[in-house]
Structure formats: structure tokens, C-alpha cells
Structure 1
């Protein structure tokens, strides 16, 4: 028993073809019947008109009615067709069969003939009961000599032929339907079989077995679906790996400062240290505490961005001032590696509409990364310029660079190129989303061993926005 989609495909395909075949057969049978009937009618009509035309040109004496009717019967007779001569009332005056008849013909072909056209009637003969066609033609010789020549021919042989055609066409329809049924089952199986395979694989994936893959080279939408599910499984495996790496990394990042804090706390509690050592211990505790706070805040920011709960207070922001402030903040860290920061900009302020603190967070992350991955005694160039209606910030270093493989994923959440440098792997992911919230873009170009270039583009502030932001900062 076929179920589900397979049965629906077979049933609908079968019904569609059946209806189409029935329509075609009906049209064919009607056309064949019309062809046969019209052929018989046209033959009788053409013959009778030709004979009557010839008869009119002859000099046959029509004063004697009996002789006149006999001549009509002689000239108008047709093989395998019965001829009747009727008067205007429809009474039968003569029959080609030789039997006398005083009956009155009341079929529709007689009135049609009296009106001047060639009448045709198809029906059952009142005497024999067989199917016949009657074709009537008016014969008018003047002096009130009006007669009707009525040909009656049996349609039984024609109808038998039509029945044979119906039987044969019916057998052809049955054969076509059997073929269609067989093909539709194969078609349904070709669709349902891969769906069943995909369903089974999806069920395994739902149980957590993401190593399962859909095998087979399927075409069209089925192929796209299987490729999508395989890609989804690969992405889940990769995401799980990234998650595991993140958990391992963040555990290490949290454990290191906590160990330092706990160790110095226990040391200070034991007492007996001079003021300098105590001061150094408290300084380390403060530094590691700030480090913990930074990690937690980064996680909280990412959570807010994921849930669209990040609030920003937008106002007029000078990009130049933000970058100068960041350079002061990271100066000590850069000095440790003897790295020089170089800012290149025109005299203008490069104003944008944005949240100054969030933009500072973005550029601090970008510049801090540049310092972290740069070599000793190198330069980091920071360039500000305007491109049409955008403010463009370019941060370029000559550090270790990023390979093409890692560059494609470096902005993914939790992803870290080098776990040894620490961090949560969220910095660039957060920066990307914050820039997008400002209507801008963040792009990275890098070559392994030759440094990295980060380009941030933000919409420049218009005069109308400048005026409005000075009056009332916008909270979004």
C-alpha cells in the first residue's frame, strides 16, 4: 500500500492523464462521427443537386404526374439508399423499395427542404427501428408541381465502425494508463526515496549525530536540500568545536587571574611582608580584577547584541578625538614592544552620529589587536580620510598577519586565530556588530607574515543631524 507523498504523486499524475485522455478521446470520437456523417450527407446532397439540375434541363414531360414521379425515381436513385418522393404535406407518393405506403413523414428534414435548403435528420426509422439519416431536397418545376426527394440511408454500419473505433481507442487509453501508472510509480519513488534518506539522516542529526551525511548525487531542489543539511551539520560540528575551544579558553582566562588573586590574598593574609611587597601584591590583585571585569563585560556586551538589547546614546562624535584618546590609552602597551603609533589626518574633525563609548570600544579592540600581533620596533599607521559621504578609518600594521583560511572566520564569535594570546574570541564579532549598528562596515585584509589592514567606514554627519544631535542626543 502506497502512502503519503508517493500515493499523492501517483494518484494526481494518474488522474491528470486520465482526464486528458478522456478529453482527447471524446473530441476524437465526436470529430470522427461528424466526419462520417458529413461525408454521407455531402455525397447525397451533391448527387441529388446534380441530378435535379440535369433533370431541369431535359425535356421530360411533367404533365402526367405518374410518369413524372417514375422519371424522378429513375434519375434520382442512389445505390444502397432508399428514395422517397413526398408531396408538400409529407405524404409518401413513391418508394424506391417498391412497397406502397400511405404514411406521412413528419421529420425535421421535410420542413427544411420546403424552405429551400437541404434538410437533414438523423434518428430511428419508425418501421425498421434502425438508425438512419434522411436528406431531403425540394423539387420545384412550376405550375404547383412541388415535390420532395427524400433519401434515407442506414447508419448502422457507420455506427458499428464508430463503436470499433471507440473500443480500440479505449484499449489504447487503458494501455496508456497502465504505462502512466508504471512511470508515475517510478517518478514517485525517485522523489520519495531521497526524501526518506534525508529524513532518516535528519533524525540522526536531531539525536546529536552530526557526523552523519546524506550520500547521493541528487538534482534540483532535492539536491539543494541535501547539500544544505550536510552544510548545516558541518557548521554545527564546527560551531561545537568553536564552543569547546571557547569554553577551554575562557576557563583558562578566568582561572589565571583568579589564581593570582587568590594566591596574593592568601599571602597578604599571612602577614610579615614589607610595605613594598604588600603594595606590589595589591597592585597585581587590582590588575587581575580589572582583567576579570573586562572579560565579563565583553561577554555581557555580546549577550546584549545577540538579544538586540544593546542601548546606544548617539550624538556628535569626533572620530579624530576618539582615536587620539585611544592612542594615549595604549601608549604604555605599545612602548613595551617599542611600537610607534602614527596618526595621519587632515585638520577637520571627521564628525559622525554615533555612541562615542561604543566607537571607542571598537577602535580600542582593533588597535590593541594590532599591537598584540605586531613585531618589536615596528610602526602602526592610523589614517582618517573622507570618501564622499563616509568617514574612513584605516589601521595598518606590519605584524604576523592572518592566513586566508583564518581570515574568513576571524570575525566569527568565539573564534581565535591563536589561543596562546588569550581572549574570548568575541572582540571582533562585537566590533563588527557595533559598526553595523552605526550603519557602517568593518573589513579586514591580511597576508600571513606581512601584516593586517582593518578598514572601518562610517556615515559622515550631515548638517541637519549635527544640529539635531546637539539639541537632544538619541537613545537607541
Structure 2
């Protein structure tokens, strides 16, 4: 298996490092240069303003001599800075980089005070005065509302470039240090991400090969741990589904084979004359009975299949559950007469409205009553009761039959499950009736319970939602 994810992660880290270094070199250079120019121009402007506001005014008011003012300018100069005193017409009266002169002042070319006065600064040769590019600021000296001259301060751009390069070098070093720290994520990534991911991939490959009993050995409380837990749960469910399908096929094969064997044997015996004509009616009735069993089994399987459909909508309505119990019980009048079984109804009120799917609740009642009759002895009584407690309707179907063994109580809801006594005469059910009942009650988000004692009887109790407004 190729480690594409790990390689992509390392490649992305290297790419981001190169991209970041390039961005700092290109974009960062301009940003740092603008910052350096802003800082130095601001400092020069403040110094020039301080000079014009103090010593320059004294000079123009003849309080300080030219020599004294020149000396004060020289004392204000930092390394590589130059200060000029300029006349309104552009003559350089003083230059701190040269000796004091009293005559033959050099004149600036095309001098324009408005170009750099105030808070503005300029970069260049300052009207052709310098050979090297300078960062220049110029502040007017004002006495009695009249401009007497200008004080300009200059700093070679080479100083600014050196400062800019120093800052960029520092930034580059910090970036490389940060990138080195980020590279430490690679072994951390390998331990925390890549190793668990390899276990998950190994588990997925094991599942794909058909071994659904395998569990991914990953005990983490993060997204990868959740993914492993989900895959383990999925494999367990698929394994259970596979077991269920095998069991389902086995049960269906058994329940189909028995009646088909009887039908095939009796029809062949009738056709080849083994069964004499005077006895054919008896065996044809058996064939009809077995055919009816197959029909019921097929219908039950189709019902369960419909109940299993996801997104299935229930046809909710408000109906009288007492009336539904009566009509369902009346359908068993003939079989109860034949077996001498009585059905007694204990219903709350004349009417008791519930909110449910009427057709499916009829199916629940039919299956429970049919189950009670199947396991009841002759001359016994089946009691059906409806009660209302705390806005919930309880329906009970109770028989006095053989009861259910304690170890079978949790299994009776399984599809095709039959306790041993149910395989006797007149108890040839499909093993799907109670599974259908459970699915219908669960789909209504209600509950069903069973209470049973061997040799005493069985009682099934399920709940329904009471109708909000009874008619």
C-alpha cells in the first residue's frame, strides 16, 4: 500500500515553507522598507521641528551667533545624518557635514519648499545637492508669521537599506525557526495519525476479505477512535445480518419444505392411485390446509418486509380501540366454538379513542388473539382488557394456556423462533406472528411486555397513545 497521505502531508509542509519564505522575501521586503522609512522619516521630522522651534528662532532673532547655531546643529547630528539650514531662495547657509562658511553659499537647483515641507518626506538627491540618495525632511523656520528659512535633515538610504536587511534577516531566522518547530509535527503526525490510520485500513481490508468477526484494536477518544468504533460496530452488524440471513434461509427452507412435502406426497399418491377415491377427500383437505399454511407464511414474510422498509409512513388516525377489539375478536368466533374457548372482554367505557395506525393495530390484536387460541386448552377462557392510565391506553390479551418457558421469554420476538411445544399438533405457526407484533408496536414508539408462567398462562400487554380529542 502506498503511503500517499503521509507523503502528501510532508510535501504540503515543504511547499508551505517555500511559499512562506518566498512571500516574506517578496512582499515582506516592501512592507519592512515602508515601515523603516516611516519610522526614520518621523524621527527626522520631530528632530527638525525641535530645532526650528528653539535654536533656529534664536538665530534669526540674533540671540545666537551663526557660529553658536552651527555648533548646536552639529551637536544634534546622529551618525551619518546631515542637517542643512536653507534660505527661502534655496541657498545652503549651513551644512553640518562641512565646515562653517560665511559667504559663497551653494544654491539648490529648482528649489521648491512645498515639495517636502510639513509632514512629508522625499527620497532622492534633494534638488541635486547629494550624490547618494537620501531620506529628506524639511521644516520651515517661522518668525512673526514670516518664513525666514528652512531646516532640513537627511539620512542616506544605504542606512535604511541596511536596517531593512537586518530586520528581514531576523524575520527569516524566526521563520526558519518556526518552520523547524513545525517540522516536529511530522513524527507527531506519524504517531497520532498515521499509525491509527494504518490499523483502521488493516481492519477495513480484513472486513473486505470476509472476516467480520475482527475488531480494530484502537482505543482512542478522538475522530479516528470514533471511526474505528463505527467500523467495528458495522462489522458486528454485518456479521449478525449474515447469521440472520443464514438462519432465515434455514427456517424458511424448513417451514416451506414440510408442507410442500405433504402436498407433493398426497397429490402423487392420489394421481398414482395409492389413495383410493373414497379417501381422497380427506387427503385433499390436508393439501388445502398445508396450502393455507404456505399462504399465511408468505403473507407474514411480506408483512415483515414492508415493516422493515425505512421511511415507511404510518397511517395515523383517531379510532375507537374498544370497537376494534370487538370486531377482531368476532373474527375468531368459529374457531373458538370448535375448540370450546370463550373470549371475555373487559373494556374501559363505551368508547376509548387512541391515535395510531388502525390497520396495523388490528394486525397486532389478530396475531395476539390467534396466538392465545393456539396455546389454550379446550374449555378455557381468553381475557382481553383495555384500561386508561395517565393518558396512556393499555391493551391486555391473557390466556390460561401452557405458558412460555422462562428461558424463551426473550427469544419469542425473534423471527421464526418457536418453542418446542409450538411444533405439536394444531400449533403449526409461522414463527413470525410475534415478530410482526413487536415491529408494529416499535414503529408506533410504544411498548409491549409479556408475563408468562408455565402451566398457568401468558399475558401480553401493549400501550397506545390516547387520542388528544375523543369524539
TM range (shorter): 0.7 to 0.9
Structure 1 residues 2-401: aligned runs within 5 Å: 4-6=4-6, 9-10=9-10, 31=35, 34-52=38-56, 55=59, 59-60=63-64, 69-77=66-74, 78-80=76-78, 81-96=81-96, 97-98=98-99, 102-104=106-108, 110-111=113-114, 117=118, 120-124=121-125, 126=128, 129-141=131-143, 146-154=148-156, 156-184=158-186, 186-187=188-189, 190-265=192-267, 269-271=273-275, 281-306=283-308, 318-326=323-331, 328=333, 331=336, 341-350=343-352, 359-370=361-372, 381-386=383-388, 392-396=394-398, 399-400=403-404
Q: 2:426 is matched with which residue?
A: none
Q: CA RMSD in A?
A: 4.8
Q: Give yes or no for contact 2:135–2:154 (8 Å, CA) kept in 1.
A: yes
* Cα distance in 1 between the residues matched to 2:170 and 2:161: 14
Question: Are residues 4 and 419 of structure 1, via their aligned partners in 2, closer, same or farther at CA, if it must alter by over 3 Å?
Answer: farther
SS across alignment from 1:111? helix
- Using the TM superposition, give the Cα deviation of residue 387 of structure 1 relative to its aligned residue in structure 2, in angstroms: 6.5
Do residues 416 (structure 1) and 417 (structure 2) align?
A: yes
Q: 1:64 is matched with which residue?
A: none
Q: 2:433 is matched with which residue?
A: 427
Question: Are residues 28 and 377 of structure 1, via their aligned partners in 2, closer, same or farther at CA, if it must alter by over 3 Å?
Answer: farther
- Using the TM superposition, give the Cα deviation of residue 104 of structure 1 relative to its aligned residue in structure 2, in angstroms: 0.9
Question: Are residues 249 and 112 of structure 1, via their aligned partners in 2, closer, same or farther at CA, if it must alter by over 3 Å?
Answer: same
* Cα distance in 2 between the residues matched to 1:28 and 1:371: 94
Question: Are residues 281 and 375 of structure 1, via their aligned partners in 2, closer, same or farther at CA, if it must alter by over 3 Å?
Answer: closer
- Using the TM superposition, give the Cα deviation of residue 358 of structure 1 relative to its aligned residue in structure 2, in angstroms: 5.2
More moved, 90-99 vs 393-402: 393-402
SS across alignment from 1:103? coil
* Cα distance in 2 between the residues matched to 1:349 and 1:143: 107
- Count of aligned positions: 444
* Cα distance in 2 between the residues matched to 1:43 and 1:404: 100
More moved, 119-128 vs 10-19: 10-19
* Cα distance in 2 between the residues matched to 1:225 and 1:301: 35
* Cα distance in 1 between the residues matched to 2:355 and 2:116: 97
Q: Give yes or no for contact 1:304–1:310 (8 Å, CA) kept in 2.
A: no
- Using the TM superposition, give the Cα deviation of residue 248 of structure 1 relative to its aligned residue in structure 2, in angstroms: 1.8
* Cα distance in 2 between the residues matched to 1:355 and 1:147: 102
* Cα distance in 2 between the residues matched to 1:325 and 1:134: 111
* Cα distance in 1 between the residues matched to 2:315 and 2:87: 108
Q: Give yes or no for contact 1:402–1:446 (8 Å, CA) kept in 2.
A: no
* Cα distance in 1 between the residues matched to 2:313 and 2:115: 92
Q: 1:65 is matched with which residue?
A: none
More moved, 78-87 vs 224-233: 78-87
Do residues 445 (structure 1) and 452 (structure 2) align?
A: no
* Cα distance in 1 between the residues matched to 2:377 and 2:178: 79
* Cα distance in 2 between the residues matched to 1:386 and 1:271: 58
Any gaps of 5 or more consecutive residues in structure 2?
A: 424-428
* Cα distance in 2 between the residues matched to 1:105 and 1:457: 104
More moved, 416-425 vs 199-208: 416-425
Do residues 455 (structure 1) and 453 (structure 2) align?
A: no
TM-score (norm. length: structure 2): 0.72
More moved, 342-351 vs 24-33: 24-33
TM-score (norm. length: structure 1): 0.72
Question: Are residues 147 and 266 of structure 1, via their aligned partners in 2, closer, same or farther at CA, if it must alter by over 3 Å?
Answer: closer
- Using the TM superposition, give the Cα deviation of residue 174 of structure 1 relative to its aligned residue in structure 2, in angstroms: 2.2
- Using the TM superposition, give the Cα deviation of residue 348 of structure 1 relative to its aligned residue in structure 2, in angstroms: 1.9
